[in-house]
Amino acid sequence: TASAQYNMHFQAKSKCIIINNENFSPQTGMNRRKGTDRDAMQLQVCFLSLGFQVESYKDLTCKQMVENLKKASSEDHGTRACFVCAILSHGEEGVLYGTDGTLPVSILADIFSEKHCPSLAGKPKLFFIQACRGSMFDEGVDQVDGLRRSDDTDSRGYSKPPVEPDFLYAFSTVPGYYSWRNEEKGSWFIQSLCEELLRNSSQLELVKILVCVNRRVATQYVSCSRDITYNDKKQIPCIMSMLTREFYFK
């Protein structure tokens, strides 16, 4: 029924913010995230085609990440249906990396809580996060050899996001685990996400699309690295949904 679905019929385009952190200060000890520009480009193409107003940012410090998201949350979203934020960076459990250090995931989402962003109250707020959530590997089982070139991880090891209704978090991996990125093709998660959104957004509900993403990443990819420690590893994304209605893009 109509009441079981979020209302997407608003006059203004919803906003999608992409934060793409590739280069990090030496004191963080974090490597350059080669291949991340491919992810950012795919996300931009994807959400523009879905009718969003897209803003992309590159290599933001922690302070700049917070400032840009606060600026977005202070806007009047009254004529917009939803809000999307994609963050591509290094991470550990409970935190994401700005170019100069770490930031709790909870801070980012709290900026868009009903208290701080009333014009998005009752509307879906979607966060897509490509980053490690720890330092464990998923040994997986032998599946098709999805990527044959060098695969990299997005970590060295998030506080919990606020539990408020109408938020959805799609993490590239489950808590405690590495997340893989191919230096030429982009990350397994973001590339799969964009392909599934473009293919299914006109007919499938969002959570069903994300299940397709999970299946694709879990079954079609295995890491290929010259370092045996990092070779032949698997990944499974993680959906954390507090949505209270079905979400259809169209």
**Cβ contacts of residue 187 below 8 Å, gap of 6+?**
35, 36, 39, 88, 130, 154, 172, 179, 180, 181
N residues, the chain: 250
Whole-number Å distance between alpha carbons of 192 and 127? 16
Q: Which of 108, 109, 131 is nearest to 30 (CA)?
A: 131
Active-site residue (options: 90, 117, 194, 224) = 90
Alpha carbon of 53 to those of 49, 80, 208: distances in Å?
A: 10, 10, 24
Please give the backbone phi and psi of residue 17, each rounded to the nearest 5 degrees, phi first: -105, 130
Cβ pair 216, 170 in contact under 8 A: no
CA–CA distance, 129 with 108 (Å, rounded to integer): 11
90 is catalytic: yes
Q: What one-character DSSP code corresponds to residue 167? A: E
Q: Give the count of alpha carbons within 13 A of 236, CB side only.
A: 13
Q: Please, what is the Cα angle at 205 between 238 and 201, to 5 degrees?
A: 100
Catalytic entry in 132, 194, 212, 224: 132
Q: Which residues pair with 54 in a beta bridge?
A: 16
DSSP state of 28: G
Catalytic residues: 90, 132
